[in-house]
Amino acid sequence: MKRLFATLALAAVFAAPARAEDVVLYAAGSLSGAFGEVAATFTAATGVAVKAAFGPSGLMRERIEAGEGAHLLASADMGHPRRLVAEGRAEGVIRFTGNRLCAMAPPAVGLTADNLLDKALDPQLRLGTSTPKADPAGDYAWAMFERAESLRPGAEAALKAKARQLVGGPTSEKIPAGKSAVPYMFETGRADLFVAYCTTGKAAADAGVALTLVELPPALAQTADYGLVVLKGAPRDADRFALFLLSESGQAVLGKWGFAVTTAR
């Protein structure tokens, strides 16, 4: 049945539309690299252009609620897409990939999986995160802080008090063109350690940035489910893009960038 669905989905994706219309995609900032490649692959296969805007998922949702003409929202969580469904703006949410949190720091910090909590709590080290509520990465970091409480009483309050919400908020500093957010925060001394998506650290490392990327230990591990909605009134090409994203071709690109692959084996 899954194989039949995949075959039908791909047929729908590659069928020539009566009239190609640009797909307007709003997506989480963590997807910018991967979705740039996904969109290019989709356009090459179908001739349909994708106009993408990236930013914190909560703020992208607010832009849709304010009436901006997006066709899809690809969020770094399930909550923001579900809110659009509850508001009657979309029919349902699809989980299309997953991510997880990592800790990262310049090599001089000496970060390891064993000393991660000690380093995060060290009053001499500046801890950076994204902004809760506006950006799911911040919400996931806060959930990780809550897990830390069971390992060390008082850790949750201490971590939330010292964490610098440096990115992902409505008033966050604008990152200079050509710079990646987390490496920029290290370069400018705004943070010594950052809790962010593992894919963020991978992209920085792949770009040649010297940093230590550490997977969270099991007691602190935090995963992230990414949800997609096609908004009501969107053109058929928006559905085609959603199907392409779920296809083996789309999932292969996400996997290349370090995201979880959902395609059945």
DSSP letters for 148-165? HHHHSTTHHHHHHHH-EE
pLDDT along the chain (265 residues), means of 10: 41 50 96 97 97 97 97 98 98 97 98 97 98 98 98 98 97 92 96 97 92 96 97 97 97 97 71
pLDDT score at 178 = 86
Q: Which CATH class is domain 2-98+225-256?
A: alpha beta
Q: Pairing state of beta strands 164-167 and 193-197?
A: unpaired
User: What residue ranges of the chain are covered by domains with CATH 3.40.190.10?
Assistant: 2-98+225-256, 100-215
pLDDT score at 20 = 64
pLDDT score at 264 = 58
H-run or E-run covering 241 = helix 236-246
pLDDT score at 105 = 98
In sequence order, the 6+-apart residues with CB closer than 8 A to the CB of 249 are: 41, 45
pTM over 0.85: yes
pLDDT score at 21 = 80
**How many Å apart are CA 218 and CA 18, to the nearest integer?**
51
Q: Give backbone dihedrals phi and psi of 9, rounded to 5 degrees, phi first.
A: -65, -45
- Other C-beta atoms lying within 10 Å of the C-beta of residue 12: 13
pLDDT score at 61 = 98
Return the CATH architecture of domain 100-215.
Answer: 3-Layer(aba) Sandwich (3.40)
**How many Å apart are CA 263 and CA 218, to the nearest integer?**
25
Three-state secondary structure call for residue 19 = coil
Evaluated on CA atoms 212, 123, 162, 145, the torsion sign reads positive
pLDDT score at 19 = 52
